[in-house]
């Protein structure tokens, strides 16, 4: 499959997924929503495997890596700051979201732990 055909297919499947998600939310039908998302992601994955052209070079790969690192860092910092703020404000009696703050802190710690593990794993595996 050519790259342009794949891109058109992804646009069509994404639009269909958006429509199915909207209908699933309006009808309050969770199985329809999950089925639409699963079928859409599966069809995109299977189509990606059939693409024969290469659309990435070293520069594109490096840009993607840098943007992923920055996005992950901003997300983790935001999670922990919001979680800590909710936790502390709830302890002071201003808000009632102590559990949510605690959960956000746990999620932030898990994401940081996963990142550290995979950094170590790939550094060891790739010899870095």
Nearest to 101 by CA among 111, 93, 89: 89
> What is the pLDDT, as a whole number, of residue 96?
83
**What's the Cα-to-Cα distance from 110 to each of 79, 107, 122, rounded to whole Å?**
11, 5, 18
The answer for residues whose C-beta is within 8 angstroms of residue 112's C-beta and 6 or more apart is 76
> What is the pLDDT, as a whole number, of residue 11?
95
> What is the pLDDT, as a whole number, of residue 41?
94
At 79-127, the pLDDT tens digits run 999 999 998 998 888 888 889 989 999 999 999 999 999 889 988 888 7
**pLDDT confidence bin for 128, thresholds 50/70/90:** low
* Mean per-residue pLDDT, 52-80: 88
> What is the pLDDT, as a whole number, of residue 53?
80
At 30-62, the pLDDT tens digits run 999 999 999 999 999 999 888 888 777 788 888
> What is the pLDDT, as a whole number, of residue 75?
92
Contact between 101 and 87 (Cβ < 8 Å): yes
Contact between 111 and 71 (Cβ < 8 Å): no
């Amino acid at each position: 499959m050519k790259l342009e055909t794949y891109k058109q297919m992804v646009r069509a499947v994404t639009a269909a997924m958006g429509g199915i998600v909207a209908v699933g939310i309006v009808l309050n039908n969770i199985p329809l929503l999950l089925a639409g998302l699963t079928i859409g992601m599966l069809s995109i994955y299977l189509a990606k495997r059939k693409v024969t052209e290469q659309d990435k070079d070293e520069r594109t790969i490096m840009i993607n890596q840098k943007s992923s690192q920055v996005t992950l860092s901003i997300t983790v910092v935001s999670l922990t700051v919001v979680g800590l703020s909710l936790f502390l404000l709830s302890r002071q009696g201003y808000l009632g979201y102590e559990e949510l703050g605690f959960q956000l802190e746990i999620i932030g710690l898990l994401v940081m732990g996963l990142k550290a593990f995979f950094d170590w794993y790939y550094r060891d595996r790739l010899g870095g």
